[in-house]
Amino acid sequence: MKNYKMTSVKNEARAELHDALGLTGAEISINCLPMGASVPFEHSHKQNEEIYAILEGAGRAVIDGECVELKAGDWLKIEPSAKRRFFAANDRAIKYICIQVKSNSLEEYTTGDAVIEQ
């Protein structure tokens, strides 16, 4: 029984990893919006915080009515209750990762959770 799972993501409009990788602590999606396109609705969450990473291109998020410009290399953490909607720029596509995790679920991490092998 292998202790890992692997998949490869190309340029799908949306790839979801929870089932593909057997994730138990997160759902992760990789999303591509063509230029001028947007997610067709605004949403919030009940208990999950979302972390977004912009991989390529540019666009904007509207978060609780505030417009936030986005470019490659930007990372955002959005509280569960915030109302959010993502848009590609009018002249450029955007590719981004969305990571959903349960708020306040992390206990120890990095040196607090790792076991370094000698």
Contacts with a copy of itself by CB under 8 A lie at 2-10, 16-18, 20-28, 41-49, 51, 53, 55, 63-64, 66, 68, 71, 73-79, 81-84, 97, 99-110, 113-117
**Using CA atoms, how far apart are residues 45 and 80, in angstroms rounded to an integer?**
5
Q: Smallest gap, in angstroms, from Cβ of residue 21 to a copy of itself?
A: 4
Q: Which two tokens stand for residue 94?
A: 């955007």
Where is 53: in which H helix or E strand?
Answer: strand 48-63
DSSP for 11-23, please give it. S-SEEE-HHHHT-
**Using CA atoms, how far apart are residues 57 and 8, in angstroms rounded to an integer?**
20
**Using CA atoms, how far apart are residues 50 and 113, in angstroms rounded to an integer?**
22
